[in-house]
Structure 1
Amino acid sequence: MKKGFLKKTPIALAITATLASAQIFAQSAQSDTQEGEMELVEVTGSHIKRAAMDGPSPVASLTAEDIANTGVTDLIGLFARLPISGQGTFSTQANSSDDTANGGSSVSLRGLGADSTLILVNGRRVSVSPFAKNIDTAFVDINNIPLAAIKRVDILKDGASATYGSDAIAGVINVILRDDFDGLEISGKIGGTSAGGGEESNISMVWGNTTDNSSHTFIVDYFNREELLYADRRYSRTANQAAARPNDPFATDFRSSSGIPGTIALASDPTNRLPDTFGNDVCAAEDIDTANNLCRYDYAPHMTMVPSTERLSYNYLGTYTLSDNLEAFVELSGQNAKTTVKGAGSPSFNELFMAGDNPNHPFAGDPTHPFFGQDLTMRRRTVDIGNRQKEVDSDYFRSVLGLEGELGGWNWEAAYSYIKSDAVERGVDGFPNSRRIQEAIDSGLWNPFEPSTNTAEALAYIETTTTRVGKSTTRSYDAQISGPVLAMPSGDMMLALGVEHRRDSISDNPDDQFVRGDIFGTEATQANGSRDNTALFAELAAPLGDNFEMQLAVRHEDYSDFGTTTDPKLSFLWSPLDSLSLRGSWGTAFRAPSLSQLGLGRTDESPNLVDTIRCDAVGNVNKACEPQEYTAVFEGNPDLGPEESESYNLGVIVNLSDSFTASLDYYHYEIENIIDSDTQFVFSNFGDDPNVVVRLPSSDPNDPGEVVTINDSFQNLGDLNTSGLDLDLRYNLDSNLGSFTLSYVMNYVLDYEDLRPDVDGGLRVNLTEGDYEQPEWRWTGAVDWSRGDLGARLAVNYIDSFAQDASVQQPGMSDIDSMTTVDTTVNYFGFEKITVTLGVTNLFDEEPPFDYSDFMGFTPTVHSGQGRFAYLSSTYQF
């Protein structure tokens, strides 16, 4: 189906599709109020306990059954399928030896960033990962929460800083843990991909006991996933996409310019170079780039698409009745996770040198060669000490101790929380120490141009192991009270008051080798910081009529490192008819700069950039006009201020009958003072400033020289505006053939405008809807069926097409195509106390659409390279 037609009729087509689709999650729209007394519960998005789950804010809930029916094996697999998830959602896919958050995953609602989506567990914050994503993005690692421990997941789809404080710009994800199980349950699951790699196994045990004055729920979960290599997939097994797609004029050779044995160049002029075809060890003929005089290297087959992971976790939730009006509660969670990430051998780009009189000089016996007696530099990959391998060992611990009760018709709660995340990242293979490798070249111990002659002693001398240690902690005290303050004709006006004090700290420290710059060919971070935060908040809910409710919330925050902020929120729910409700909200929100952004030490990154300065000067010399890796040096900025936003939401909820419900919400966000870096902008506009971009000397007066490093930092720069539509539909049908549930969930981006600084001091449009990684339309539809002892589900997931990366876009180049996948499950309940499930995700083994901008041939931030995945699971309850 053509994108143009879809763009013109998204709502009409969405409504039509309800007859052949079903929603992933349960509709959070208005439900019938049951007669009689109901237990008061705290709904995500409000501190006021209420009898009904519905309210003015758009909240969607996914039950444990909903999650199981999707066939996913972890939370990130679930969120990656939700239409509301956007750019910035990341899993362990595309983890590499250069990644700064290996093993971690998080979600970005509406594409506003993982650090603008607040993750809660049972309504309370958890500590961020000690290792930031992309060196600065603070995120809560949702891999710490096993599916077996989840009762439901609530998604608040509007800004909520007035309720929860920082990071709730895009919305809130609240994971509610199982706490009311009685008995024993054992579950197991195995699965694998049809194309190989990524096999998974999972086993969990849930034990619960409930008495008149206490309840206990204990959960143990083990999860194991084998690695998936880029070599395991046809479209990503080589970085030379030009050779893999010989009939595609736009396909690019992404092989590294650092090869084996490499490229020899003059130290005085690195642009004067030759591929190493001299002596016994030579560059393979297929790796010689004659156009650029380079020995290239295909790194793709040696890299993990998805690393191997092993997780063991436990959860305990307990309540104890101390008196008629007083109850104590305890929450304890922990996990150990081990992740192994593989990458190609470390590359060097003119960091190493060989003197003209070195005994291993490749032209020592050829006085006629122009390089004879000349000092040399080189582009070389240290494959001789092995490919790189990192092992990440992380521990997570969460504890909450609290009391709750009732006093004079008011409900109150107070708790202390302590959450800690520790991680150790070790480089165990393939990492050279640049200082020792240079010493070994100078002494003649190690010959970079004849690797087959190097001894085990020489290789042991140049190889090292690396260590990076991280720790993140959150300590908090919170107390709140809520109850009626005024009797009104339509019900009580309710008030909630609360206070919270939190201390966050983070440390991310690589070993001295990284600090001294002795490790080349990989990225490292260093960040340390802490902050205190005190918050006061209030919320008022007033029934202004039999069918109209108004809520007002406000929160005041005082941060030790950047000051104070106050954020209000106003929302309403109006139900003029039993079958029709209107809701809306307006509020401001903020995101405090992360401790990594404030306290980052000197950190090396390897972004893909285009050297526009050199390209304009000398053309596509050494692919200066094409994106390739450069070394960017970052440091934190202690003067950063918070991001600030304003958002509103307007929605309609329709209940035409007990069988059909629908909701349509319009959202709009305006975010100012975005905290980010724009290294390409710095590179392009200040690339000729030696204080910003350090370059090697060149003999050509027109050539500015090859880049050594680019200096950059984080700033409050630019704005971001976005708006769109959320559509949820559900239809239940009972027939002689069984019970059917048809439903549809859609997110359609009407506008997305990312504004960044321009050379004239104004703002330029950096990204808009439909640009790279910005699909305008995502939807999921499915049909659930049950009859007797059988149940089945068929779901269709759609991601819209979007433009190629602007850095590679050329006239005639196609967009990145849309992707449609089908998931299915079949459940059998005919065995006593046993449920058996057979399922397949990506049933038709749909390959991700081709992306011209990177070596793997697809967009890992948007599409999955897993392919068809089949699984068998079973649950037994005692």
Structure 2
Amino acid sequence: MKKGITLIASSVSFALLGGANLANANESEVERIEVTGSHIKRSDLEGPSPVQTISAGDLAATGSTDLIGALQKLPVAGAGTFSTQGNSSDDTANGGSSVALRGLGASSTLVLINGRRVAVSPFAKDIETSFVDLNTIPVSSVKRIDVLKDGASATYGSDAVAGVINIILRDDIDGFEVAGKISDTADGGAEEENFTLLWGSSTDKGHHNFSLDYFKRGDVFYADRDYASTADQRFRGGNNALSSSGFPGSIEVVRSQLTDEQWDALPVTRVEDDGTKVRQTIFADVWGNDKCPENMIIGDICRYDYAPHMTLIPSTERISFNYNGVQEIMDGVEGFAEFSAQHTSTFIQGAASPSFTELTMAGDNPNHPLAALPDHFLHGVDISMRRRTVDIGNRKKDVDSEYYRAVMGMRGEFKEWDWEFAYSAIRSSAVEKGFDGFPNKLRAQAAIDSGEWNPFEPSQNSQAVLDKIETTTTRYGASTMQSFDATISGELFEFGDGYVAAAFGLEHRYEKIEDNPDNQYLNNEIFGTEATQANGDRDNTALFAEFNVPATENLELQFALRYEDYSDFGNTTDPKVAFRWTPIDEVVVRGSWGTAFRAPSLVQLHLGKTDESPSVIDRERCKITADPLDCEPFEYTAEVAGNKNLQPEESTNYNLGVIWQASDNFSIGIDYWNYDQDNLIKKIGAQELVDCCGDNPNLVIRNPSTGSTPGRILLINDTFVNIGGRKTDGIDIDLEYKLETQGMGEFKFGYNVTYVMSFDEELVETDANGNSVSVVKDENGEYQHPDLRWNARVDWALDDWIANVSVNYINSYNDLADSSGNKFEIDSWTTIDTSVTYVGYEKLTVTVGASNLTNEEAPFAPSESMGVDNKTHSILGRQAYLKFAYKF
């Protein structure tokens, strides 16, 4: 197979190099085009499935310099959509971004370029989510984006569960173009520079388009936004999320390491009903010269404010090259090729590494903080510590990424049938280097044991000692994909007033992912920082067929079927049935039904054990102790691993809609959509594990209980499971109106809304008797699941002026429950984007504009450490920009 693919690729490459120009489609080819959602060419754009098209002009109007800036504002985008926000040293996909249609997750949204698949990012998001990084595609190379808003498994592959984002590259450049953009924010940070060179040629034999794009963005720290500059959000009515790992830190003792006499000497904090004495086991460091600041001692614990030291948006520099071309080889046959290359450098900074009892000190250590106080009850007691390694600096990482994509193929006609085949090779790799602020646990412990390093008196330690405990870290990742696809389409036979059209095809692809931290991570020598390990590969072979049947003059039927065989998960057959009915010329009624099958991602299957540091409320202890350490979010260590026993997700979806073209200038479309997923794959989550199973020693490891009080959490074992299912449905509304005036120009009005009616997740839990029970949780309107999003826009053009205003709205929703089970309502959020363009200069276009014109702050979210849900809202604020484009 590989040999055959290589020969095909070589022949196509030779054919392309033999020509010099890009072929223009002739008149007959223009009449029938391939629309996203179907392999059968058609004469009109409105098919049975709902497709939202975003033109290059629409992208420009958003003011975004990258695709995610525009796509995350789509009402159809939901929970699971993420940009480069929230990228600190704890993130596992620094610099990446992706969209999750319908809130079903980025891994359930299929991203295509010119109708073909793209390899996923080498580093999963939040450890668990495989995604296609949209930042690998520069805006300057995009002609339009088609968003298919119903399932498309039968057409493009079983994992197109929520829908498809098809990015169409520019093929219309004729001549030479230069474009540039600079921007800055009102509150500082994220300043941008973007410069693009475009050139191309077009003749009746072919077309060739080239682009070279440079992009640079500065970083934004949480400290750059007053309302998010501290993890102590009590001044806004939120939580105190200051870290329990402070500086110089706190001492912690464990019952099993103390003698009865030492234990009995500890202060008693309360006495339980059965007479059991509950003793204080954590003490802020208030001895010696270096003491915990008084304002950081809360609840007997030395705290630390990590917020000012963490990047919200990392600094990024990218340079991209893209080529997209077609060349006629012979009459009726043309070759095509697409080549992309990108290099990206990203810099991330986080607060100093936290330790949570990983480091210990013997009672007879000369640096013991109570060594000089023989009468103190902690004198001579073995201790562990909660401590930040501030003395070696904040954590800093560089991520250097490389992305290459090559597609070569041929297409043509044979006896009125269209045929096409192509070979694709894609590789995305990244090297993450931690070069500052990372301690090696073994070296640090050895330095404590030898007396070289005194963690309780950091001002006394020499730089030579600090250099001994500090290390550098490396993580390497690569994601590769090779595929071959072939399709043939045409008309089978005459039927009624038309012809039954069909498309048949096959696809074979090989995918491999590698994510390898260095041995220090694998040997558990690094604490306080997340890293993943995942290695796996799979083959997938698919056969598909599609039929378009003109049942009557006004009724069109679509039938599609796709068979897929996975090397690691067996096979699946997914059908799709759709219709398009025009009872009258002005009205189109459409509907579709289909199934989907999503195999677990390679990360979910093959992820090695890795640590993360989630913030958790220990509600069971809080009910008893009322201790802030238990009643407010605090960081704990959670160990996450892949699960090779996962079963594939299965789902069905259907869509029913109507479009009314009331006049030449006004149309309205309404669609009802419904998704029903089974065997949903999900990481359980640390908070949910503690809430449901906090007394299960296999899932939540604690210190020994004191009477009826559970011990403090030491470790949370998390993994991926098939949780049960998910059901969601809702309504999309799309309105378009054009108004032409005398002397005031032309106005275009648009309104897109997505209203989610339900979002239910079914969990399988174990009751008190050990029985499995099904629990349905309504997530609609809950945390990160607002039930309403809309976008309204006005475009205006008069003579040499073009202007637009866009209003983006996200409805209010509930925050996560606090320790008492109460939920705060996070406010709705409305932002305005606008731009003005002047085209009166010959060959020169100039644009000024602003995103979030009124500089609206992100709504307050108390459960978040810095008070902002940055996966739903943006902390960036107003971003003003100036753009120019010149055509030679």
How far apart are the structure 2 equivalents of 1:609 and 1:569? 43
How far apart are the structure 2 equivalents of 1:192 and 1:684? 43
Q: How does 1:750-829 map to 2 (within 5 A)?
A: 750-760=757-767, 761-807=772-818, 811=822, 814-829=824-839
SS in structure 2 at match of 1:435: helix
Kindly provide the amino acid, as one letter, of the partner of residue 108 in structure 1: A
Q: Provide the residue aligned with 1:107 in structure 2.
A: 99
Kindly provide the amino acid, as one letter, of the partner of residue 324 in structure 1: D
Q: Provide the residue aligned with 1:598 in structure 2.
A: 605
Q: Provide the residue aligned with 1:238 in structure 2.
A: 230
How far apart are the structure 2 equivalents of 1:606 and 1:166? 34
Cα deviations by residue, 1:208-265 (Å, 9 ceiling, x for unpaired): 01123232100111111100110011110111111x33xx3xx211100111111123
Q: 1:192 to 1:452 in 2, by over 3 A?
A: same
SS in structure 2 at match of 1:623: helix
Tell me if structure 2 keeps the 8 A contact 1:93–1:860: yes
SS in structure 1 at match of 2:281: strand
Task: Tell me which of 540, 557, 560 is aligned to 2:567.
Answer: 560
Tell me if structure 1 keeps the 8 A contact 2:617–2:819: no
SS in structure 1 at match of 2:815: coil
Q: 1:271 to 1:145 in 2, by over 3 A?
A: farther
Tell me if structure 2 keeps the 8 A contact 1:808–1:853: no
The alpha-carbon deviation at position 611 of structure 1 amounts to 2.5
Tell me if structure 1 keeps the 8 A contact 2:241–2:633: no
Q: Provide the residue aligned with 1:866 in structure 2.
A: 876
The alpha-carbon deviation at position 685 of structure 1 amounts to 3.7
SS in structure 1 at match of 2:544: strand
Q: Provide the residue aligned with 2:652 in structure 1.
A: 646
SS in structure 2 at match of 1:162: helix
The alpha-carbon deviation at position 613 of structure 1 amounts to 4.0
Q: Provide the residue aligned with 1:77 in structure 2.
A: 69
Q: Does 2:195 correspond to 1:203?
A: yes
Task: Give the superposed CA RMSD.
Answer: 1.6
Cα deviations by residue, 1:308-333 (Å, 9 ceiling, x for unpaired): 11111110012111111111111101
Tell me if structure 1 keeps the 8 A contact 2:617–2:630: yes
Q: Provide the residue aligned with 1:29 in structure 2.
A: none
How far apart are the structure 2 equivalents of 1:298 and 1:42? 55
Q: Provide the residue aligned with 1:659 in structure 2.
A: 665
TM-score, normalised on structure 2? 0.92
Q: 1:654 to 1:782 in 2, by over 3 A?
A: same
Q: Provide the residue aligned with 1:285 in structure 2.
A: 294
Unpaired runs of at least 5, structure 1: 1-34
Kindly provide the amino acid, as one letter, of the partner of residue 351 in structure 1: E
Q: 1:271 to 1:531 in 2, by over 3 A?
A: farther
How far apart are the structure 1 equivalents of 2:282 and 2:59? 57
Tell me if structure 1 keeps the 8 A contact 2:810–2:830: yes
The alpha-carbon deviation at position 615 of structure 1 amounts to 3.4
Q: 1:338 to 1:766 in 2, by over 3 A?
A: farther
Task: Tell me which of 462, 465, 471 is aligned to 1:455.
Answer: 462
Tell me if structure 1 keeps the 8 A contact 2:426–2:481: yes
Kindly provide the amino acid, as one letter, of the partner of residue 79 in structure 2: Q
SS in structure 1 at match of 2:216: strand
Task: Tell me which of 410, 415, 422 is aligned to 1:408.
Answer: 415
Cα deviations by residue, 1:794-820 (Å, 9 ceiling, x for unpaired): 111110000111245755x64101001
SS in structure 2 at match of 1:571: strand
Q: How does 1:42-81 map to 2 (within 5 A)?
A: 42-81=34-73
Task: Tell me which of 530, 550, 553 is aligned to 2:537.
Answer: 530
Tell me if structure 2 keeps the 8 A contact 1:842–1:869: yes
SS in structure 1 at match of 2:551: strand
The alpha-carbon deviation at position 590 of structure 1 amounts to 1.8
Q: How does 1:429-468 map to 2 (within 5 A)?
A: 429-468=436-475
Q: 1:271 to 1:130 in 2, by over 3 A?
A: farther
Q: 1:52 to 1:104 in 2, by over 3 A?
A: same
Task: Tell me which of 205, 217, 221 is aligned to 2:209.
Answer: 217
Task: Tell me which of 841, 847, 852 is aligned to 1:831.
Answer: 841
Q: How does 1:661-676 map to 2 (within 5 A)?
A: 661-676=667-682
Kindly provide the amino acid, as one letter, of the partner of residue 762 in structure 1: V
Cα deviations by residue, 1:356-392 (Å, 9 ceiling, x for unpaired): 1111111211111111111121111000000011111
SS in structure 1 at match of 2:603: helix
Cα deviations by residue, 1:701-728 (Å, 9 ceiling, x for unpaired): 3333222212222111121111111111
Q: Does 2:481 correspond to 1:474?
A: yes
Q: Provide the residue aligned with 1:322 in structure 2.
A: 329
Q: 1:271 to 1:496 in 2, by over 3 A?
A: farther
SS in structure 1 at match of 2:228: coil
Q: Provide the residue aligned with 1:503 in structure 2.
A: 510
Q: Provide the residue aligned with 2:21 in structure 1.
A: none
Tell me if structure 2 keeps the 8 A contact 1:266–1:371: no
Q: Provide the residue aligned with 2:135 in structure 1.
A: 143
Tell me if structure 2 keeps the 8 A contact 1:45–1:156: yes
Tell me if structure 1 keeps the 8 A contact 2:816–2:824: no
The alpha-carbon deviation at position 766 of structure 1 amounts to 3.1
Q: How does 1:125-524 map to 2 (within 5 A)?
A: 125-242=117-234, 244-245=235-236, 248=237, 251-267=238-254, 268=257, 271-289=280-298, 292-524=299-531
Kindly provide the amino acid, as one letter, of the partner of residue 885 in structure 2: T
The alpha-carbon deviation at position 171 of structure 1 amounts to 0.3
SS in structure 2 at match of 1:804: strand
SS in structure 2 at match of 1:545: coil
How far apart are the structure 1 equivalents of 2:386 and 2:280? 11
Kindly provide the amino acid, as one letter, of the partner of residue 261 in structure 1: P
The alpha-carbon deviation at position 697 of structure 1 amounts to 4.0
How far apart are the structure 1 equivalents of 2:818 and 2:143? 44
Q: Provide the residue aligned with 1:710 in structure 2.
A: 716
The alpha-carbon deviation at position 39 of structure 1 amounts to 3.4
Q: Provide the residue aligned with 2:268 in structure 1.
A: none
Tell me if structure 1 keeps the 8 A contact 2:812–2:827: yes
Kindly provide the amino acid, as one letter, of the partner of residue 266 in structure 1: V
Tell me if structure 2 keeps the 8 A contact 1:355–1:376: yes
Q: 1:528 to 1:343 in 2, by over 3 A?
A: same
How far apart are the structure 2 equivalents of 1:324 and 1:124? 26
Tell me if structure 1 keeps the 8 A contact 2:244–2:634: no
Aligned length: 835
Q: Provide the residue aligned with 1:877 in structure 2.
A: 887
TM-score, normalised on structure 1? 0.93
The alpha-carbon deviation at position 734 of structure 1 amounts to 0.8
Kindly provide the amino acid, as one letter, of the partner of residue 879 in structure 2: F
Cα deviations by residue, 1:266-317 (Å, 9 ceiling, x for unpaired): 353795232111111111121111xx21111010000111111111111001
Kindly provide the amino acid, as one letter, of the partner of residue 818 in structure 1: S
SS in structure 2 at match of 1:441: helix
Q: Provide the residue aligned with 1:6 in structure 2.
A: none
Q: 1:264 to 1:503 in 2, by over 3 A?
A: same
Tell me if structure 2 keeps the 8 A contact 1:648–1:669: yes
Unpaired runs of at least 5, structure 2: 1-26, 259-278
Task: Tell me which of 620, 627, 631 is aligned to 2:626.
Answer: 620
Kindly provide the amino acid, as one letter, of the partner of residue 337 in structure 1: T
